[in-house]
Amino acid sequence: MAFLFSGFACFAQFEGEVTYKITYSTDDPTAAAFIGMMPETSTLVIKNHMLRFDQDVAGGGKQSFVANDREKSNRLLMSFMGQEYQVNLNREQLLRLEQTKELEIKKTSKRKMIAGYQCNLATSQLENTPIEIYYAPEIKTPTVLPQFSSLEGLPLKYEVVKGSVHMVYEAIKVEQKPISDLAFDISNSVKEIPFDKFAETFAVKK
């Protein structure tokens, strides 16, 4: 199972919702057969020190990543085949889950309008693949994706490489609006499982 929330940390000053479209490419025929079942969109909800990233997963399930920067908490909520559970993650576990590390970012002078925001282009390498990240300096953030932590703004278009699959996330709607704190709540009734058990079940690399 691919974890596509991509390790979002917390954002500030912007309150609202960002919708991303996701496109996929691969040279692997086996992986290509599954692309049609992958999600086409994802949603990022931000309020002050909190965020929630929601996305469907292949097979009819759903995953949500909920982070609270003030409390330094990161929770993964999984819903699949009628069962729901949550996993609490520290930063080390989060990076292990995403199987990534902070990237060496090279900023450029190139700009592009995305979803109504002027974005700056940065480049890097991910799994030996050149990638581009367009971020909006107007949307200030104390931290961004762990691998993009040197950026000074919210990524509105970025690339993720998972094995043979190349994914591009691009914002198609950025809506500033009031967000209820309830959007970031996870019921205490949702079963919690230890990270080690979760990692073993889903074959997270050590």
Question: Residue 154: enclosing H or E segment and its boundaries?
Answer: strand 154-162
Q: What is the pLDDT of residue 28?
A: 92
**147-189 pLDDT, tens digit each:** 677 788 889 999 988 888 999 999 999 999 999 999 999 888 8
CA distance 172 to 164: 25
Flag the least confident range among 18-22, 44-48, 176-180.
44-48
Q: pLDDT tier at 73 (50, 70, 90 boundaries)?
A: confident
What type of residue sits at position 101? K
**pLDDT (tens digit, 9 = 90+) per residue, 99-116?**
556 678 899 999 999 999
Which residue is it, tokens 């974005």?
119
Residue holding tokens 């020190």? 49
Distance, CA of 17 to CA of 40 (rounded, Å): 17
CA atoms within 13 A on the CB side of 12: 7
Residue type, 66: V
Q: For the residues 37-59, what does the mean pLDDT come to? A: 87
What are the start-end ranges of the H helices in the chain? 29-35, 91-98, 195-201
Residue 183 to residue 46: CA distance in whole angstroms: 9
- What pLDDT sits at residue 115? 96
Taking the C-alpha atoms of 40, 14, 181 and 58 in order, what is their torsion angle to the nearest 10 degrees?
10
Query: What is residue 20's predicted lDDT score, i.e. its pLDDT?
Result: 96
Weakest mean pLDDT among 50-54, 119-123, 199-203: 199-203
24 strand-pairing partners: 167
In this structure, what token pair is assigned to residue 127?
Answer: 């799994």
Nearest-5° Cα angle at 45, 171 to 204: 85
